[in-house]
A and B are shown apart, each in its own frame.
Chain A
Amino acid sequence: MNFRTLEFLVGIFLAAGIVAAVILALKVAGLTLSSGSSEYYTIHGKFSNIGSLKVRSPIKLGGVVIGQVSDIYIDPKTLQPIVDMKIDKKYSNIGEDSTFSILTSGLLGEQYLGVKPDFASMDDDGNPIYLTDGSVTSMTDSAIVLEELLGKFLYSINNSNSKTE
């Protein structure tokens, strides 16, 4: 075979490898090229229990994904879990009193952060106050831990039984 043809075929082979790597990164791993901070703003949420929330879990408002969890760590002073939430700049009008709750999709599905918007808090001029980059919010609902729930349930059954006796 001619050497030029050979070079061409090898070139296609190498290019196919690069294309495969790109497909794996973008489509399968969901890597986004434009993860610059300009398109997102980060707010910090204080939780008491995050359940099995993970970094990169989605943040949903009414079922629509508006961002993702960018970091989870413990505040060294209060020993409280802090969840950093990266929210799309498009949705910059989330009121300060909005509630962030850790919810589960389906009975055994993975956990996500649900946002319930609230515009109750106003500044002096009557304009709603929004969460901005770097805001810290404590308006959070912790994850429901199934074992704790079962424990409470069994405890209450025991109590009601002993009352009736």
Chain B
Amino acid sequence: MFLLKPIFNLGAFGINFFSTLGKATIKLYQALIGKPQFRKHFPLLVKQLYVVGVQSILIIIVSGLFIGMVLGLQGYNVLVNFKAEASLGPLVALSLLRELGPVVSALLFAGRAGSALTAEIGLMKTTDQLSSMEMMAIDPLRRVISPRFWAGVISLPILTLLFNVVGIYGGKMVGVDWLGIDEGTFWTGTQASVEIYKDIVQGSIKSLVFAFIVTWIAVFNGYNCERTSEGLSKATTNTVVYSSLIVLGLDFVLTALMFN
């Protein structure tokens, strides 16, 4: 009997996993599809864009600046050995546009906005606010979940663009203004190697995919959390852990698909 126990456990895990995935997909479908009422729901979306997007700007800009500066400094230290300082611009711009920008923004976004979304929705559920909305014939999926979801999907790509721009200027600050690479060399090298479709558009597609995944996980974990304080803390933790892991794993898959 105890030899069979792992199999029972595996079965339980599988059923649990797929039923959660199914529930999450149904919630996603219900949140996205459904007759949109722009007059009623647009103000809600604006409010959430402020909470999710505008309030994340500070952390995104500061991290972008410092990551760009560190890339510039480390890149310069290596490249100067080969007298290849001219490649600093392409190094900073390409690594930010292709990988660091989308991934680091998504991780920061999961920590800053994703956890907040989960906690907010989770507490609404725990304190029966969602059920009371249902009693008043207001669909909480459309009133609460949908604006938050769309706000996340819209915000993260914009935050990623800001991150990239600030990071590239941070790299330029260190390379050109501090370490003395010629400014013209920096920009022409960058412009020669960055391609609009291959680097900028594909980086943005990546960040759109991450936005979808991170917000979906955050919103669903909140909606699905247990009605205890322990359950709420677990849901918040799960949001950050799962979205970070999925973002990093998915990044590899997307890179393999896009850049080969």
Contacts and interface: CB of A to CB of B under 8 A. Distances in A.
A10 B54 contact: yes
A24 B162 contact: no
B200 A29 contact: yes
B12 interface: no
B164 A30 contact: no
A6 B50 contact: yes
B97 A28 contact: yes
A16 to B, nearest CB: 6
B187 interface: yes
Contacts of A1: 50
Contacts of A21: 161, 200
A152 interface: no
Given A13-B57, A24-B164, A7 B46 contact: yes
A10 B162 CA distance: 14
Interface in A1-53: 1, 3, 6-7, 9-10, 12-14, 16-17, 20-21, 23-25, 27-31
Nearest to B165: A20
B158 A20 contact: yes
Contacts of A31: 196
B158 A17 contact: yes
A109 interface: yes
Nearest to A31: B196
Interface residues of B, number: 30
B93 interface: yes
Contacts of A110: 192
B97 A17 contact: no
B192 A13 contact: no
Chain A binding surface, main DSSP class: helix
Interface in B25-58: 43, 46-47, 49-50, 53-54, 57
B161 A10 contact: no
Interface of B: 43, 46-47, 49-50, 53-54, 57, 84, 86, 93, 97, 155, 157-158, 161-162, 164-165, 168, 187-188, 190-192, 194-196, 199-200
23 contacts: A1-B50, A3-B46, A3-B47, A7-B46, A9-B50, A10-B46, A10-B49, A10-B53, A13-B49, A13-B155, A17-B157, A20-B161, A24-B165, A28-B93, A29-B194, A29-B195, A29-B196, A29-B200, A30-B190, A30-B191, A30-B194, A31-B196, A108-B84
